[in-house]
Amino acid sequence: MSFAEPRFRTAERDVDDRTTIVAVHGEIHVSTAPEFSGVLATTIESGRVQLVLDLTGVTFIDSTGLSVLLNALRQVTHAGGRMAVVCSNPTVLRLFEITHLDTTFDLHADADAALAAVQADAEG
C-alpha cells in the first residue's frame, strides 16, 4: 500500500526589503512541517522579519505545524520583527482557539489587514 504525497506548497511574495507574505496551501503536519520550517527559516534568515503567513489555503494543521509556527514567531520576534497570520478556515481557527494560541498569534481574516499590521509595527 502506498500513500499519496501530502498536498502542500508555499508561495512567497516580497513586499519590500523586510516584508514578505508566505502563502501556504494544503496540509501542515508531521510530513510537511520540515519543508515549511525550511521555507520560514530561509525567509527569516534573509532579513525578511516583517512576515505575513497566509494560511487561507490551509485545510489541516496538527501540533507539529503549530510548533513550526511558534518557532517562526520566536525567530521573528528575536530579530525585532513582527509576524501576522491570515486564517479564515473555521477548522484551523478552532485549533488556534482550543490551544489558546489565538492570543499568541496576531490573527487576521485577510492578507491586507495582516500586512497593514506588520507594516504599521515596522513604521512605529
Which amino acid makes up residue 34?
P
Q: What pLDDT sits at residue 3?
A: 57
Query: What average pLDDT does range 116-122 have in this prediction?
Result: 85
**Is 45's pLDDT higher than 60?**
yes
**Is 107's pLDDT higher than 70?**
yes
Q: What pLDDT sits at residue 120?
A: 87
Which amino acid makes up residue 80?
G
What span, in angstroms and rounded, lies between the C-alpha atoms of 50 and 87? 17
Domain residue extents for the chain: 8-123
**Assigned C-alpha cell, 101:** 494560541
**Is 121's pLDDT higher than 70?**
no
Angle at 50 between CA 110 and CA 95, to 5 degrees: 50
Q: Which long-range contacts (CB under 8 A, 24 or more apart) does 70-79 make?
A: 70/101, 70/104, 71/37, 71/40, 72/37, 72/40, 72/41, 72/44, 73/104, 73/105, 75/40, 75/41, 75/44, 76/44, 76/49, 76/51, 79/44, 79/47, 79/49
**Assigned C-alpha cell, 21:** 507574505
Residue range 9-23, pLDDT digits in tens: 999 999 999 999 999
**Is 75's pLDDT higher than 60?**
yes
Instruction: Reply yes or no on domain 8-123 having CATH 3.20.20.10.
Output: no
